[in-house]
Each structure stands twice: as structure tokens, then as C-alpha cells.
Structure 1
Amino acid sequence: MALDTHGQQQNLIKPPHVAIVPTPGIGHLTPLVELAKLLLVHHNFTITFIIPNDGLHLAPQKKLLQALDPQAISYIFLPPVSFDDLPNDVMVEIKMVLTLTRSLSALRDELIVLIQSTRLVALVVDLFGTDAFDVANELHVSPYIFFTTAALSLSLIFHFPHLHETTTCEYRDLPEPIQLPGCVPLHGRDLTDPVQDRSNEAYKVMVRMCKKHRSAAGIMVNSFVDLEPGAFKAFKEQGQGLPPVYPVGPVIKMGSVDGFEGNECMKWLDKQPNESVLFVSFGSGGTFSQEQMTELALGLELSGQRFIWVVKSPNETAKNANYFSVQGSEDPLGFLPNGFLDRTKEVGLVVPSWAPQVQVLSHRATGGFLTHCGWNSTLESIVHGVPLIAWPLYAEQRTNRALLVDGLKVAVVVKCNDKGIVESQDIAKYVRGLIEGDEGKLLRNNMKGYKEAAKLALSQEGSSTKSLAEVAQVWKSLNT
């Protein structure tokens, strides 16, 4: 018995340890890495990343993890899973969830090792990782979610099982907007892609995943109280049946410039007037058809405004073609209209595939951001006070657009023609309006207000700092 007590004392002397399990995609790993840094620096946690492995495109993930402090943050890649049994057109979200569910046995083995060798107090997953809860509960480890998008989307997830049971039509055909407590009204067509076809396997996966969110021991949200006050107030008021919700954002990459393209972008920006440049980027996964890419190029040229455009090779079938694959070997610049680079060389900088987004957004010369409305990009814009042209492509980006345009009033939204194409003359109009027009001034002022609010939330006595400290305190009190 005395030995057992001694063992417990030994365990309490060890720093509390957290296991973090991201689902595939660099956009999911990045905020989790930033969360890990906060837990280490401010709360003395040690961390292990356990990475389910889709067998593809792991170089960016490895690069990100190798840059961390190896004394405090370690990482393990689980054995790759196979998707050979899946049809080629399976939705990205199904692959993300299956990468985790097919790794549960390997995850369980790694968690057992951590339980034996560290003082493991919590398992943290992202919003697609809730199938790991079964393993966490079996091993008596508290399961938490780091919800890497808006509180609006979390509200929708809590409400979704009810929506599923009380409607039979496709959500895009709902006659009235969905009213979520404390949130901007949402049209059914603005819901995330995997729920837009009730007969698709992805729909069943989403229903199951949404139900599992309620069984988390707690949910940290990458947003902050002053950005979405109504939603966070409603979570508190709903109380019973919901896990505790902690607004801990904005948790974003602060990063440094690396690589030739990074330096080239910054040198070019240094020569431009204040708030005169539009940054054009559609995230790590976003892609366009050749026709849309051509319209975008001509629209930027027609606008007469300065721009930095991160160009990717076109794809005719998917808007998220780069999510699970390495950028094609073809030079994306070869798909631009003839003469475009020569005609715009005085006002534009075109960079293939990648640019140092955080540095570009934080630069004094950047006056607007044409974006897919991914949540990481959205938070980076807010932290740096850059207004937006919202062009959602996939996943929950249309939901984010509703928040940005209708709720926060920091973005103007693009409109498509009957073929689903945003035309060049419209693009030119949006760009001029944002950089030079009165509407742009209004959006910029609104965004600067949220920039100040974000700064306050992350200050020493700020709401998000206190919220994360609350989570840390709960974890430290667990004597596992």
C-alpha cells in the first residue's frame, strides 16, 4: 500500500501531460500546435501529438512539428491507413474521420504507453476527432475538443441532431433560415458540404459526430467572447446537456518568414503605399476551374489595384483538390491568361502555391484579403485588422461567410452567375470597392474594432487568457 501511495506522489511530481490528436490537413494541425505552445509556455504542460496517418502529404506536418521544443512537445505518426476500399469520389470529410477511426487501435496502444510513462490528464481532438472519445473513456482519460472554427458552427453542431430529426427535405430547400440561439440566421444552403445530401454516407457520419460533441468533458473554441457574444452567452444559458465551452481564441500562427518566396513578398510589399494591396489566397486546399482562374486574373487586372496572388493549378472537378494531395508538378503560372504577368507586373505580384500569409496580412501595405473564409485565415485577418472579400469554396466556409458578412460586417461577398462563375467585371468591382471605396472604409473600421477586441481577449487579464487558464486548472486537478 505504501508503495502505491509513493507511486501516486511520484506521478503528481511529473508535469501534467496532454495528448493531442489532429485529423488530416495542415489547417487542423496548425491551430493545435499553437494551442500546445500556449499550454507549454503559460501552464507548464508537456504534450504528445499523435498523428493519424492518411499515407499522403505529411511533409508540411513534419516540418511544423520538427520546429517545436523536443524537450516538451513530442510527436508520433501512427501507421498509415488504407482507403483502397473507398470510391474515388468519397468526400474529404469522410476520409478525415476514417483516418482517425481506422487508427483507433494504434491510438489506444500509444495512449497506454503515455499513461504508464507520463501524468496524462487529457486527450484533445479537433472537431472531426470525436470517435477517439471511446478509447479515452475506456482508458479513463478526459476527452476534450479544440474546436478550430467559429462558435456559430459549434452552435449548429449542438442543434444539428434536432434539425436532422425535425426535417426531411434537403437543407438547401428549407424555406426559412435556421435560427440558432444568439447567432446570425443561417440559410440551409450555407450549411457545411457533408450535410447537403442526406443520402450520402458523409451525412450519417456528420450526424454521429454532432451527437458525440455533447459527450466531451469540455470544448475549447478558437474564437473569443467579443467576436461572438451571443453564441457564448447562449452556451452558458443552455447549460444542462452541454459540456462546458471555453472561448480561448484567437489562437493563430505568428510564424516567421522562411524561403525565397517569403522574402520576395515582403520586399515587394515594403515598396507599396499603406493599405493599398489586396492579398488573394484560398488556403492550403482551395482550387478553381480553369475558367474561374481566368476570370479572377482578368478581374484583378481590370480593377487596377495592387495585389499579391497565391496561384495554384486549376482543377475541373473539386474546389478542395489540394486538401489531400501535394500540389501538382505543373507550374501554376502556366495556366494564367496570355500576357497577364507582363501586363500586371507594375501592380501585381504572383507567387506559385505558397506565401507567408501571416506576414503579408500584418504588413502595413496590405489593405484587403480575398479569401475562402477558412477559419484560420479569418482569425489571422481579424488579428491584423484586414477587411475581406468573402469567396467560400467548401467545408464550413459558407457558414463563416454568413458570420463575416451578416454578423460582423467585416466582409463583402462575391456573387456567382448562373454557371457558378464569379465574373471578371464583378471581381474588379469588389476589389476597387474594398481598397478604394466607402464600403471598404466601413468594413476596415469594423475590422479594426475586432482587432482591438482580439488583442484585449489575449492580454494577461483577457477573457480568452482566463478561459484557457480555467481549462489548465481543471486538468491540473486531475490526479491520473
Structure 2
Amino acid sequence: MEGGVLSIQGGKLKARVSFSAMVSEMESVLVLYPSPAMGHLISMVELGKLILKYYPSISITILTITPPFDTGATASYIAGVSSTTPSITFHHLPTTPLPRPVSSYPSFEALTSELLTLNNPNVHHALQSISLNSTVLAFIIDFFCTPALGVAKELNIPAYYFFTSSGTGLALFLYFPTLHRKNTQRFRDTNTIHEVPGLPPLPSADMPGPLLDRTSKEYESFLYYATHISKSAGIIVNTFESLESEAVKAIYDGLCVTDGPTPPVFCIGPLIATQGGHGGGGEKEYCLKWLNSQPKRSVVFLCFGSLGVFSEAQLKEIAVGLEKSGQRFLWVVRSPPSKDKSRRFLAPSDPDLDSLLPDGFLDRTKDRGLVVKSWAPQVAVLNHGSVGGFVTHCGWNSVLEAVSSGLPMVAWPLYAEQRFNKVMLVEEMKVALPLEESKSGLVTATEVEKRLRELMETEKGFNIRNQVKAMKEEAKAAMNDGGSSLVALDKLLKSCRQKQI
């Protein structure tokens, strides 16, 4: 890029200077607007860090809101980023009151959707304020922040999406308006197999949760998001091309948007945190010290994200399965969801392990297992030499962290698009084994035992391990000089520059 701060010379990406001079004498800024959930915030911050690494003359401002519900420990995470990366500015939007009690919303998605829609006046004011002293090169919004697309258009600011989930997920959502037109029944009421460009045949039951009921508010919101994402200046997706090659090709070829052109798509990933999202100190040291005493690649790590919770009955099944499997384990346990509906969107208290787990479990497994309350330093754990497998809720950040660590997975989806992710991990990418639910929705101790043994002791598990190791090397290559993700980053910044001309 002539005159820019990022160029590709001899296949290598190099930093340069004075990008702002190409656009304006004022400081150039990219404004990022994530959904309030921890996973969305972390990957948006990592995008900002990557841009700063290669475009140090650009400023990054991230708009944040303080929601009246649990999103993980975002406050401490933001404080940590502010102290270690002062070149990222967090612009905290004013608190927006909701029109009704938090507990009256049917789901986290419905709650988030309304909150972000109500925040539009604050977003408008923030962008106007930032524009007084800076040239806003682009406004990069989360999928959930689609209501702000109109704000950017009104202010004549190019708007790009940052899709924090997978490339296969992006292919599905781009095609979702077409599926909506083709089907008149609720997905949850049918046993239909759906054909989506770039994806394996997809059963109705494996659709993302918010898409299952076309009469719901969540479905309505996601259809609105999916209809508008193709109207943006471009879409950034947190993946690398070779991880999801079929889906990415279908998107690039314009097969997923059937009623108009597909905007430019930039596969820039894996964007993952180098350190955990929150916590630290004694908790972190305790986990890592215990891992230091375990044999190489012998420990199964069980962790289900910042919002994943199980019933007391399910926790007991997991415990029995772990004990019978004979595997070494590090298990993060969170309190079951509150029976008090007024508290269902609030952070749970620390669990009482003695009452939640089977009698004597902790004592019987103390020589080969460690149970920690609520949180563990996931990135550090996944990269520890003693860890040999990962039981995950299939959140996309966790998937990318596992792939980047070369760890095979057992897929246990809990909410949102995670059931869909499970299908892709098992059938398309072949980096995970599935955990199957019983008809009651419970995953039995027998199933837990079976999958852990299969992952750690069998040829099938060995083959998955080899596949994910290969993906680990491809992830590294994508983010190295001349790699596909850095080439995409260069194209993204060129696109932002051209929109200002």
C-alpha cells in the first residue's frame, strides 16, 4: 500500500507510517462497537490490537455499554486492556434504561437486541463527538449491533461488520433470508434437511437456537440482522480461510446472498486473547501449578464459557463420568442457574462444590483431578503441555483457542449458535467428537465416560488430534507475514481508505 503503514513486499507484511496523512490532517480513527457479551468484546479488542500492530498511526476507539445483566467480568477485562494497551480508547456510552424489568425478557438474545436498539441515540452522539477531532475511517459493528447501521449511514461513515463467530456461521446467516422465504414452518417443528451453500446438509434441529421459532422476537431480530449485513461496506470474520475453506469459497463466490451482491469479506483470524479474560493472581497460579505436576498431554480440560451453566443433576452426571473414565481432569464448575426468575440474567454466586458434586467425589479424585470454582485461565491452560483434550461449549472463541493450541475437542453445545458449531466441528472440520444428549436433554455419565476415553485413548481420538495439529500450523501461517489473514487485513484497510476518497 503506497503511502500507508501496511504493505506486502516479497510476500511479507511490513509496518509503515503516516496513514492518517492519506486521509486527513486530523487523527484517523476506527470506531469499534461490540455486543456487550465477554466473548464478543474480547475478539473485537483483539481485532483492534492487530490493526494497531500494523497501522500504528491509526487510533482505535471502542464503544461500550454497561448492561443490567451478566455478560462475564467485562469491567475488569476492560480495565486490564486499558492498562496494557493504552492506545485503545474505551468510550463508555451512557446507561440506557430498559422499558421493563430485565427478568421479563424471554432470552439473553431478546434482551441484548432491545438494549442495543435503544442505544442508537448514544451511538449517534458518540460518533458525532469523535468526528469533531478525528477522521472516522470506518465504524465496525458487531452482528448484534445492526440497529447502528442506520446511524453510520446518516453520518456518512462507512460501516463494516465484525462477525465474531465462524465462517460457516456467516455463510448460514447470509443465506438465512433465503431459508426464511423457502420455509413457512418453524424449524423446531420440522425434520427437514437444509442445503446451505458451502455447508454440509443441515438438519432443522441443529439450526442456531434463535432461528428455531419463526414466531419469536429472537427470530425476528436475527432475520433483521441477516438482511442488513449484506448492505454493509464489508464483513470481517474471525477465522482463517483454510479452516473453513468450503464455506469461505461459497461466500466469496456470492452464493450465500441470493437477492443482491455480497459485500467484500475479510477472513482475519484467529483473533484470540493472549491472556485470559479476567481473574488471575492466586487462581491462575493455583491451576498452572497443579498442571505442572501432571504428565504431558494427560489432562482433559472441561470449561464452558463465561455464561455456560448446568443443572445440579447434570453436574453430578459429569462428575460420575469423569470418575469412571479414569482420566486426569481440570474442571471449571459454575453454580446452576437460579430458580429465582428475577435473577436468571445476573451473575451466579460461587458454587458450593460439596453440595453440588457426589459425596466423596473430590476426595476420591484428588490425585488426578482438580475442580475450580467459576473461572480458570483458559488460554494459559489450553497452551499448557499437560493438557491433552478440551470439553467445550463450542463458543467460537474457545474453538479458535483450542485450534491455535492444537487440542482436540469434545463438543458440548449449550446455547446460541453452539449446536450448529458442533456440527461443523465434528462433520466438516473433524476436530471434535460429539457428546450426545439423552431424550430428556441430559448428557449421561456413561456418555461422558465414553467420549473422554475415546478422545484420550483410541485411534479416532488420535486422528482428531492429528487433524487439529495440522490446523494449528495453518492458523500460525495465516497470521504470519504474507499469510491469508494479514493479506485480508491489508485489503480491509485499503477498503477503508478508498471509502474516504
Any conservation in 1 of the 2:158–2:499 contact (CA below 8 Å)? no
1:182 aligns with 2:194: no
Tell me if structure 2 keeps the 8 A contact 1:278–1:370: yes
Specify the alignment match of 1:5 in structure 2.
none
Q: Is 1:293–2:299 an aligned residue pair?
A: no
Shift of 1:159: 1.0
Question: What is the CA–CA distance in structure 2 between the aligned matches of 1:325 and 1:156, rounded to whole Å?
Answer: 31
Q: Is 1:242 matched with 2:262?
A: yes
Partner deviation per Cα, 1:131-162 (whole Å, 9 max, x = no partner): 11000000011111111011111111111111
Distance 1:122 1:10, change over 3 A: closer
Inter-partner Cα distance in structure 2 for 1:317 and 1:171:
29
Equivalent runs, 1:77-476 vs 2, <5 Å: 77-85=92-100, 88-238=104-254, 241-255=261-275, 258-315=280-337, 324-332=345-353, 334-476=355-497
The letter of the residue matching 1:115 is S
Q: Is the 8 A contact 2:389 2:408 kept in 1?
A: yes
RMSD, matched Cα? 2.1
**C-alpha distance in 1 between matches for 2:375 and 2:357:** 16
Please give the alpha-carbon distance, in whole angstroms, between the structure 1 residues aligned to 2:243 and 2:117: 33
1:129 counterpart SS class: helix
- Matched residues in 2 for 1:125 and 1:253: separation? 19
Secondary structure, counterpart of 1:453 in structure 2: helix
Q: CA deviation at 1:186?
A: 1.4
The answer to whether the 8 A contact 2:318-2:445 is kept is yes
Kindly indicate whether residue 51 of structure 2 is the aligned counterpart of residue 39 of structure 1. yes
Q: Tell me which of 18, 28, 45 is aligned to 2:30.
A: 18
Counterparts of 1:215 and 1:198, CA distance in 2: 23
How many matched pairs?
Answer: 470
Q: Distance in 1 between matches of 2:446 and 2:488?
A: 46
* Counterpart Cα distance in 1 of 2:239 and 2:72: 28
- Alpha-carbon deviations, 1:386-428, whole Å to 9, x = none? 0011010100001110110010111111111121111112211
Specify the alignment match of 2:63 in structure 1: 50
**What is the CA distance between 1:9 and its match in structure 2?**
7.3
* Structure 2 counterpart SS, 1:238: coil
State whether structure 2 residue 39 is matched by structure 1 residue 27.
yes
Equivalent-residue separation in structure 1 for 2:373 and 2:122 (angstroms): 37
Letter in 1 for 2:393: H
Q: 1:48 to 1:299 in 2, by over 3 A?
A: same
* Residue pair 1:277, 1:307 contacting (<8 A) in 2 also: yes
1:442–1:210 Cα change, 3 Å: same
Asked if the contact 1:23/1:97 (under 8 Å) is kept, the reply is no
Quick one: percent identity of the two aligned structures? 37
The alpha carbon displacement at 1:212 in A equals: 0.8
Residue identity in the other structure for 1:171: F
Q: In structure 1, how many angstroms separate the alpha carbons of the residues matched to 2:359 and 2:331?
A: 17
Residues 96-143 of structure 1 show CA distances to partners (whole Å, capped at 9, x for unaligned) of 122211110011001001111111111111111111100000001111
Q: Which moved more, 1:165-174 or 1:184-193?
A: 165-174
TM-score, with normalisation over the residues of structure 2? 0.89
Paired residue type of 1:61: T
In 2, Cα distance between equivalents of 1:58 and 1:310: 18
Q: What's the counterpart of residue 4 of structure 1?
A: none
Q: CA deviation at 1:88?
A: 2.2
Query: Residue 327 of structure 1: CA displacement?
Result: 2.7
Unmatched segments (≥5 aa) in structure 2? 1-19
Using the size of structure 1 for normalisation, the TM-score is: 0.93
**What are structure 1's unaligned runs of at least 5 residues?**
1-7
Q: Give the Cα–Cα distance (whole angstroms) in 2 for the partners of residues 39 and 276 of structure 1.
A: 37
**What amino acid does structure 2 have at the position aligned with 1:73?**
I
SS of the residue corresponding to residue 310 of structure 1 reads strand
Alpha-carbon shift at residue 198 of structure 1 (Å): 1.8
